Structure formats: structure tokens, C-alpha cells
């Protein structure tokens, strides 16, 4: 149990363990999408299936607090679920619960711009079989699964205006988290400093200037993520006109 509960600080980015972890958890996520699309028939059951998956992801995130409490290593400045990836399971679960395409679109953009790249630039420190290893890959891989579930199972599509709605609410969330950071001396969502591992933040200026640089970067990333939806919509419209 010690190897499961206590930090080992042995994880190495871009190692065999890193890439095998990504492949395994994403493969399981693809199976989830396949089941939701092809094996579950009723629309209510399809929504329930992804809700249960995201509920498990959310409980895995919350479990971190209890593990840290048990081991006596809980730190309010590091272990609350206030990073974007930690909050997104709840957000996406609510989007599916209320069957809101707009909410799904907002969180799809957040997840693809942030969570997806975290699969390849991890801020993880602990290696298998420590709890944090499990939590990290479940959160990041299955959030991406949950985001794509809306496309392949419910045929959700993004609209151009969703980019700006997503950016607005991301700013609201970010500056709310910054306020919390200032009250408790934390750095959730990296609003008061860069992460201590190699990430996309490394190409940005130092704090506080990178906060301003994140705005056009987020807008650019959202635009790139929207581009396939735009292309396929145009292709679909041309096909309809040719019929």
C-alpha cells in the first residue's frame, strides 16, 4: 500500500512509461466511445454511460484529497481541485447532465486546449503504481474521451461564436482562481507563476506578462480547434448543394 499511497518522484517525461501510459488510457477511452456509439441503443442510456464515466473521473480527483490527508501530506496550496483539468470533469459532467451543446462546446475547447496537451507535456512527478499516477492519466485521458464522446455519440458540433463565449468564461474562471490564489498563497491554474516542469508555458514571458500572452494564445488555439468543424461543415454544405 505504501507504493500506492506515498509519492515516489520517479516519473520521467517522454520515457517509455510516459508514452505507454498515454496509449493505454486513450485506448480505453476509445473503447468507451465505441460502446457509447455502437453498443448502447437509447439516448438516455448513452447520456448515463458518459455521466458514470465522468463521475468516476471526478471521484478519482476528489480521492486525491483523502490520500493526501491519510499520508499527512495535504497542502491547501497544491492539493485542492482548482486547476482547469481538475475542475473540468465536473463541468463536462454537468454539460451532459443538462444535455447542453453550448456547455459541451465551451468545455470541449478548454479540454482540447489545456488537458489534451497535458498528455504530452505532463506535470506529473510520481510513477506507477502511486495514486497520483493513476489520477493524472485518468483525469487527462478520459476528459479527452468525454469531450470527443459528444462528437461521435451525440453528433455535437461547435459554432464559431462558441470560441468567444468559451474565452469569456475562461477569463471569468481564471481571475476567480487568481483571487483564491492570492488569499491562500497558491498557484492554481498557474495564474501566479509557471509550472515547474516543461510545458508550453516555457515559450512565454515571465509572470505577470505571460498572463497577457495567454489571451491571444487561447484565442488562436480555440480557432485551430474549431477549424475542423468549419471545414467539415463546408464540405457537408457542398454535398447538399450537389444533390
Q: Work out the widest C-alpha separation in the chain, in whole angstroms.
A: 67
Q: What is the mean pLDDT of the chain?
A: 91
Per-residue model confidence as pLDDT tens digits over 120-134:
888 888 999 999 999
Please report, rounded to a whole number, the percentage of residues in the chain having pLDDT higher than 70: 95
pLDDT at 99: 96
pLDDT at 198: 66
Interval 42-71 mean pLDDT: 95
Interval 60-76 mean pLDDT: 94
pLDDT at 166: 96
More confident residue, 76 or 117: 76
pLDDT at 201: 75
Per-residue model confidence as pLDDT tens digits over 139-148:
999 999 999 9
Rounded CA separation 242/234 (Å): 12
pLDDT at 214: 87
Checking if the pLDDT of 1 tops 90, the result is no
pLDDT at 70: 93
Per-residue model confidence as pLDDT tens digits over 153-206:
999 999 999 999 999 999 999 999 999 999 999 999 989 888 776 667 777 788
Amino acid at each position: 500500500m505504501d507504493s500506492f499511497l506515498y509519492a515516489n518522484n520517479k516519473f520521467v517525461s517522454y520515457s517509455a512509461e510516459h508514452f505507454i501510459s498515454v496509449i493505454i488510457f486513450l485506448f480505453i477511452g476509445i473503447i468507451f466511445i465505441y460502446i457509447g456509439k455502437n453498443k448502447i441503443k437509447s439516448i438516455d442510456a448513452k447520456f448515463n454511460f458518459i455521466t458514470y464515466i465522468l463521475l468516476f473521473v471526478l471521484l478519482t480527483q476528489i480521492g486525491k484529497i483523502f490520500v493526501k490527508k491519510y499520508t499527512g501530506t495535504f497542502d491547501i496550496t497544491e492539493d485542492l481541485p482548482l486547476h482547469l483539468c481538475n475542475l473540468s470533469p465536473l463541468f463536462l459532467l454537468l454539460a451532459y447532465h443538462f444535455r447542453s451543446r453550448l456547455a459541451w462546446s465551451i468545455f470541449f475547447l478548454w479540454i482540447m486546449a489545456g488537458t489534451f496537451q497535458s498528455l504530452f507535456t505532463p506535470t506529473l512527478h510520481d510513477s506507477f503504481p502511486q495514486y497520483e499516477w493513476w489520477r493524472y492519466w485518468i483525469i487527462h485521458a478520459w476528459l479527452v474521451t468525454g469531450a470527443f464522446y459528444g462528437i461521435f455519440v451525440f453528433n455535437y458540433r461547435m459554432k464559431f461564436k462558441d470560441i468567444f463565449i468559451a474565452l469569456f468564461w475562461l477569463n471569468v474562471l481564471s481571475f476567480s482562481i487568481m483571487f483564491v490564489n492570492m488569499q491562500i498563497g497558491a498557484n492554481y491554474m498557474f495564474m501566479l507563476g509557471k509550472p515547474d516542469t516543461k510545458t508550453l508555458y516555457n515559450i512565454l514571458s515571465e509572470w505577470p506578462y505571460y498572463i497577457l500572452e495567454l489571451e491571444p494564445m487561447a484565442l488562436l488555439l480555440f480557432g485551430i480547434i474549431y477549424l475542423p468543424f468549419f471545414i467539415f461543415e463546408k464540405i457537408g454544405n457542398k454535398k447538399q448543394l450537389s444533390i
